[in-house]
């Protein structure tokens, strides 16, 4: 049985636990240190986020153009450098997806495609003996991608295992302050964060959601149509 890297928990659950631990018994609403981003600043952040996600989506489409599982949506700005912000995202293939034991071959094909399409790609690597993961590490600065990892654990029918792929990406550092953008995106900070109601599934061609908190429209989730 191949060894597999442990899976993390969805970002919202981690955010909730962190907030509870940090805030404790304080008031449920904390006044912002800085005002929310103005329209121009927010629009610029939205454009940065869209370009970053569009560049990653081009690679996702080479793998699978259907619904990917969303693990970290990728709209929350994070501080980087002295005065900058960045984004990160995580996508996973559906559990029922299969390369039909052609996973390693498909990784080689993807690696070649990325090299031919402007990506700075490292040789395909593995973690260590006994770990079956195959990993492509790459970047595309002109597409605002500082790092993209494509991590595959190939499935084998004989072992009763399935293909497991995770795509992790971090954007380049854009000039600006993350906090005012986040304040405009999520609203006033809450000790117990409100679920931002983001999609749990997303296709590479879907338009990224990046809207001010007070202008958002509800995004249907798969469970809504089941009951």
Alpha-carbon gap, residue 126 to 149, rounded angstroms: 12
The structure tokens 């993961």 sit at 133
| pLDDT tens digits, 39-71 | 999 999 999 999 999 999 999 999 999 999 999
In a domain, 53, yes or no: yes
Q: What is the DSSP string of 202-223?
A: E-TTSPPP---GGG------GG
In a domain, 151, yes or no: yes
In a domain, 16, yes or no: yes
Residue 168 has a pLDDT of 98
- Does an H or E element contain 168, and which? strand 164-171
Return the closest-CA partner of residue 179 out of 34, 16, 31, 15.
34
In a domain, 202, yes or no: yes
In a domain, 223, yes or no: no
Model-level pTM greater than 0.85? no
Residue 141 has a pLDDT of 98
* DSSP reduced 3-state for 225: helix
In a domain, 215, yes or no: no
* Domain carrying residue 23: 11-206
| pLDDT tens digits, 149-163 | 999 999 887 888 899
Secondary structure letter of residue 41 according to DSSP: H
Considering its fold, how many domains does the chain have in total? 1
Q: Going residue by residue through the chain (227 aa), what tens digit of pLDDT does each one get?
A: 444 443 444 554 444 444 433 344 444 444 446 799 999 999 999 999 999 999 999 999 999 999 999 999 999 999 999 999 999 999 999 999 999 999 999 999 999 999 999 999 999 988 777 778 999 999 999 999 999 999 999 988 788 889 999 999 999 999 999 999 999 999 887 777 667 789 999 999 999 999 998 776 554 444 443 43
- Does an H or E element contain 174, and which? strand 174-175
In a domain, 82, yes or no: yes
Helices 178-186, 39-63: inter-axial angle, 10-degree rounding? 80
In a domain, 222, yes or no: no
């Amino acid at each position: 049985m191949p060894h597999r890297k442990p899976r993390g928990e969805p970002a919202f659950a981690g955010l909730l636990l962190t907030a509870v631990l940090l805030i404790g018994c304080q008031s449920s609403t904390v006044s912002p240190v800085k005002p929310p981003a103005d329209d121009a600043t927010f629009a610029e952040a939205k454009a940065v986020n869209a370009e970053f996600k569009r560049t990653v989506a081009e690679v996702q489409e080479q793998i699978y153009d259907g619904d990917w599982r969303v693990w970290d949506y990728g709209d929350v700005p994070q501080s980087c450098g002295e005065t900058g912000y960045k984004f990160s995202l995580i996508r996973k293939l559906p559990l029922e997806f299969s390369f039909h034991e052609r996973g390693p071959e498909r990784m080689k094909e993807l690696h070649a495609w990325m090299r031919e399409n402007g990506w700075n790609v490292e040789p395909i690597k593995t973690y260590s003996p006994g770990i079956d993961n195959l990993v492509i590490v790459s970047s595309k600065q002109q597409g605002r991608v500082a790092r993209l990892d494509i991590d595959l654990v190939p499935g084998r029918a004989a072992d009763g295992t399935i293909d497991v792929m995770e795509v992790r990406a971090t954007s380049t550092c854009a000039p600006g302050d993350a906090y005012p953008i986040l304040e405009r995106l999520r609203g006033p900070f809450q000790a117990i964060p409100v679920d931002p109601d983001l999609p749990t599934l997303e296709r590479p061609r879907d338009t990224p959601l990046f809207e001010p908190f007070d202008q958002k429209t509800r995004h249907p989730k798969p469970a809504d149509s089941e009951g």
